[in-house]
Each structure stands twice: as structure tokens, then as C-alpha cells.
């Protein structure tokens, strides 16, 4: 069986042999792109090349890119733990052409790698194309019967990195895990039996702020393959969490908690272990690349992720910091590929531990209070969601998650009104503290979680 390490290497080698330059992953924290908080795709670091505002001294590239999808256009947070193939942090294997090759090579080489090198059963592969892309459709006919080539519309087959930026029609490869290879109707149906493994984007446009599409001066190729997904496929397991990418972390959590893990069920312990294993990767890689949990922007996204993981850890009996103890095992399995996590292991552990300790001070009481609210009102009002946020440090999405698990409503609009009122209070308190006046030293306190990005939006 191929290890994940070998799979990553073989992808890079395959394209290197086709004259691609192997490049480093960009830091996962999006430094310098105001449209993004975190890198959400391999192409982000090449955005300037696509837009024609930057150049490279190569026209073909290949890499594995660290990605985080927890906010903005690409947000997989809610699925994590409950399904087997979405992650907040993942690696995206990608190959690029900058004004060099286009659809023909992108399609043929993807086929060659999957079926020639990795020997995947061709009968399990489906291709999708953008509904009007006859050219890609016809190219796929060289490899696949028409019963396994499918047309989809913008939602599935027109890829955009965010509200603005490079974009274009795409062609995806899906892998059919059904026993009788009969999964055509499950393509793009959010069903784990047929999953997307690779997206070939044919970059042609720039989406402008007014929504218009502007043609790029030349065409490019941008592909993204889910590393953890292809690893699951090649290792013959149905869940990404059963691969050697996640198993070391899951085994450690199982050992520390004394609970057993089941890949087949969504019992409380198994969901918690998946969430913790996923979220610790996001925390470690983001912190290694310069983000710190905090009250705004990227920092608040990390805080939400950590508090969500803490609450799941609490579900399986951890009442003291535990995420910090998982960093070492992650470093052991990935520290040679991404040396930044090894170099900063102790910093990551320290920051994660301090964050866990501070949340654990209020978590228990917050959970008790939420139970009282549910018992008293059968729902969570906006005022109560705000109280949980302001007094117990519960990010709104954590409250919403608990509400969803209990099958009750939480008033998001009411919560937002309270947030807005708090922001106004804190703005006017600041105004009253103009230098030299000193008249409002005892003005209303700035609430603990005062924060302009409390929902962590704004990412691409």
C-alpha cells in the first residue's frame, strides 16, 4: 500500500517529469491579499500571474498547498467530523500552466496519473464538465464512455476563488466507490460513495467587483486535488480519517480518552475525535505561519476553531487542555514535509495550551447555562446567544452547533443586533476617551469579546 508520503511525492514527480517546476506551498495565512484570510486553494499564490500583473521564471508549476477553508466562499467547517471527506485544513496537490498548455494536456495527464501511474480502475472514474464546455466533453470521450461524462452548471463546474479574482469553467474527476460501480447518479450529490478527487480549472476570466467577467489576456490551467481524499482512495479506505494522514492523531486521542474510535458511525466519541484531529491541524499550521488566536479577523477564526474543538474534547471527557498534546504527533508525521511546524512546535503548543486553558475556565459554566436556557425557553434567544458569547466566550457558531444538535432554534438576527449595539457602545466609549480628556476612565467596560469579525467572514 502506498503511504501518503509516497503519494505526495509521486504527484510532484509525475509533473516534474512533464517539465513542471516544483514550488513550495505558500504560507496558509494569506499575507497581502485583502480578499482572503487564509489560503483556500493552490492557485492563490499565482493569482497575480493569472491576472497578468506578475510573472514567474517558469510556465509550469506543481506543488502541495496548505489550505484552510473555514470562512467566506469556501467554508467546510460544518461538515467536519460528521462526514469523512471535508476538512478545515487540507493539502491541495496542484499543477499549473501559465499561458502554456491548456485543456488537452490537463485532461490527458490527469487520466495518465490516475489510471496509468496509480492504476485506479477506469470504470470508477467520472468526469464532469461545465454545461457549455463541448471541447472538454469531447476530450473526455477519448478516455471515458459518455455515460460517465456529466455536464453541470455554475454551482459545480465554474470555479471562482472568491467574490472577485481569476475564475473559469472547470472539469472535475469523481471516484465511484459503490460496490457495483453504478454511482453515476451520485456525482455531485454530497454522497461519500462518489467523491470529487480532482478539479481541473480552465482559467479564462477575472470576476470584477461589479460581478462582470473580464477575459484574461491568455488562458491558464489551475488544478486542485484533495490530497487526503486521493490518499483514502489509493489506500482503499472509505474515510479520509482512516488514512495514515489522520490515524496517528486519532489513535493518540483514543488512547488519551480511553474511548474507541469507529470509522463507520457518527457516535459522540468518533465525531469528537475527527473534529479534534482535523482542528488541531488547522491550529498548528496557521500558528506556524503567523496567525494567533484573538478577537478579530484570522485570529477569531482560529479562536472559533479551537473553542469548537475544546467543546468536542469536553464531550469525551477532557476537562484539561488536550489539543496542545496532539501537536507532537502531528509534527512527527508531517514535520519533515512542512518543517515550519517542527521548528515552531513549542510555540504552537504554548499558544494552543493557553487558549484552551482560558476557554476551559468558562466552558463548563457556559454549557450549564445553555442547558438552563434550553430547559427554560426551548430555544436560544438573541440576548442569550450574546450572553454566551460575551460572558462565556462562546462563538456564535458554537452556540448554533449545540442548538442544532439539540434540534432547537437560535436567534441569529437578535444576536447580531446585540453585537451591533455592543460595537456602538464601545465606539462611543473610545470617542469619550480622546487624549487629554480623561473624563471617562470608568466608562462602560469593553466587553471581553469585542470584535468586528465575530463571524469570521471576509474570506474568499
Work out whether 278 is an interface residue with ligand GLY (CB under 6 A).
no
Half-sphere exposure of 246 (CA within 13 A, CB side): 34
The minimum distance between CB 92 and ligand GLY, in angstroms, equals 6
Q: How far is the CB of 225 from ligand GLY (least distance, A)?
A: 8
* Of the candidates 9, 109, 104, 107, the residue with the CA atom closest to the CA atom of residue 63: 9
* Between 43 and 245, CB nearer to ligand GLY: 43
- 210 to 229: interface string for ligand GLY, x by CB under 6 A: ------------x-x-----
Q: How far is the CB of 108 from ligand GLY (least distance, A)?
A: 18
One residue of 159, 227, 338, 454 binding ligand GLY per CB under 6 A = 159
When the beta carbons of 224 and 395 are compared against ligand GLY, the nearer one is: 224
Looking at beta carbons, which residue is closest to ligand GLY?
A: 224
Q: Closest CB to ligand GLY among 43 and 410?
A: 43
Site mask for ligand GLY (CB under 6 A), range 2-41, x = bound: ---------------------------------------x
201 in contact with ligand GLY (CB under 6 A): yes
| Least gap, CB of 207 to ligand GLY (angstroms) | 14
Nearer to ligand GLY among residue 199 and residue 204 (C-beta): 199
What is the size of the binding site for ligand GLY (CB under 6 A)? 7
Nearest to ligand GLY of 199, 399 (CB atom): 199
Question: CB 180 → ligand GLY: shortest distance, Å?
Answer: 29
Q: At closest approach, how far in Å is the CB of 201 from ligand GLY?
A: 5
Told to check if 165 binds ligand GLY by CB under 6 A, we report no
Nearest approach in angstroms of CB 445 to ligand GLY is 43
Q: Please, which residue, 150 or 307, has the CB nearer to ligand GLY?
A: 150
Query: Looking at beta carbons only, is 222 or 228 nearer to ligand GLY?
Result: 222
Distance CA(399)–CA(397), nearest Å, equals 5
Nearer to ligand GLY, 167 or 276 (CB): 167
Which residues, 39 to 58, sit near ligand GLY by CB under 6 A? 41, 43
For position 204 contacting ligand GLY by CB under 6 A, the verdict is no
Rule CB under 6 A: which residues touch ligand GLY?
Answer: 41, 43, 159, 199, 201, 222, 224
Amino acid at each position: 500500500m502506498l503511504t501518503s508520503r509516497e503519494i505526495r511525492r509521486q504527484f510532484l514527480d509525475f509533473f516534474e517529469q512533464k517539465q513542471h517546476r516544483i514550488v513550495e506551498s505558500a504560507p496558509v495565512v494569506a499575507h497581502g491579499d485583502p480578499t482572503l484570510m487564509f489560503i483556500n486553494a493552490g492557485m492563490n499564490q499565482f493569482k497575480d500571474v493569472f491576472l497578468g500583473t506578475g510573472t514567474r521564471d517558469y510556465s509550469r508549476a506543481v506543488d502541495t498547498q496548505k489550505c484552510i477553508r473555514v470562512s467566506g466562499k469556501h467554508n467546510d467547517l460544518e461538515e467536519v467530523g460528521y462526514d469523512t471527506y471535508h476538512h478545515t485544513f487540507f493539502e491541495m496537490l496542484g499543477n499549473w500552466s501559465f499561458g502554456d498548455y491548456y485543456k488537452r494536456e490537463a485532461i490527458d495527464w490527469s487520466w495518465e496519473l490516475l489510471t496509468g501511474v496509480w492504476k485506479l480502475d477506469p470504470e470508477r472514474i467520472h468526469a464532469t464538465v461545465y454545461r457549455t464546455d463541448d471541447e472538454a466533453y469531447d476530450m473526455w470521450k477519448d478516455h471515458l464512455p459518455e455515460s460517465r461524462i456529466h455536464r453541470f452548471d455554475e454551482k459545480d463546474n465554474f470555479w471562482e476563488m472568491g467574490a472577485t479574482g481569476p475564475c473559469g469553467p472547470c472539469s472535475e474527476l469523481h471516484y465511484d466507490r459503490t460496490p457495483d460501480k453504478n454511482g453515476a447518479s451520485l456525482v455531485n450529490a454530497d454522497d461519500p460513495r462518489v467523491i470529487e478527487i480532482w478539479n481541473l480549472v480552465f482559467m479564462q476570466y477575472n470576476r470584477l467587483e461589479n460581478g462582470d467577467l473580464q477575459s484574461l489576456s491568455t488562458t491558464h490551467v489551475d488544478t486542485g486535488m484533495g490530497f487526503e481524499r486521493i490518499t483514502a482512495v489509493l489506500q482503499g479506505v472509505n474515510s479520509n480519517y482512516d488514512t495514515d494522514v489522520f490515524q496517528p492523531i486519532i489513535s493518540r486521542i483514543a488512547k488519551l480518552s480511553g474511548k474507541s474510535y469507529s470509522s463507520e458511525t457518527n457516535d459522540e466519541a468518533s465525531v469528537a475525535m475527527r473534529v479534534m484531529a482535523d482542528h488541531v491541524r488547522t491550529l498548528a499550521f496557521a500558528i506556524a505561519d503567523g496567525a494567533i488566536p484573538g478577537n478579530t479577523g484570522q485570529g477569531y477564526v482560529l479562536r472559533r476553531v479551537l473553542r469548537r474543538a475544546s467543546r468536542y474534547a469536553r464531550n469525551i471527557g477532557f476537562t484539561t487542555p488536550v489539543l496542545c498534546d496532539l501537536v507532537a504527533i502531528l509534527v512527527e508525521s508531517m514535520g519533515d514535509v512542512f518543517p515550519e511546524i517542527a521548528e515552531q512546535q513549542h510555540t504552537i503548543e504554548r499558544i494552543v495550551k493557553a487558549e484552551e486553558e482560558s476557554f476551559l475556565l468558562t466552558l463548563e459554566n457556559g454549557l450549564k447555562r445553555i442547558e438552563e436556557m434550553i430547559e427554560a425557553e426551548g430555544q436560544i434567544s438573541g440576548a442569550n446567544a450574546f450572553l454566551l458569547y460575551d460572558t462565556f466566550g462562546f462563538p456564535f457558531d458554537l452556540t448554533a452547533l449545540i442548538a442544532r444538535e439539540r434540534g432547537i432554534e437560535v436567534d441569529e438576527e437578535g444576536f447580531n443586533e446585540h453585537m451591533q449595539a455592543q460595537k456602538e457602545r464601545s465606539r462611543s466609549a473610545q470617542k469619550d476617551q480622546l487624549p487629554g480628556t480623561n473624563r471617562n476612565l470608568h466608562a462602560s467596560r469593553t466587553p471581553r469579546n469585542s470584535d468586528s469579525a465575530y463571524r469570521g467572514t471576509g474570506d474568499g
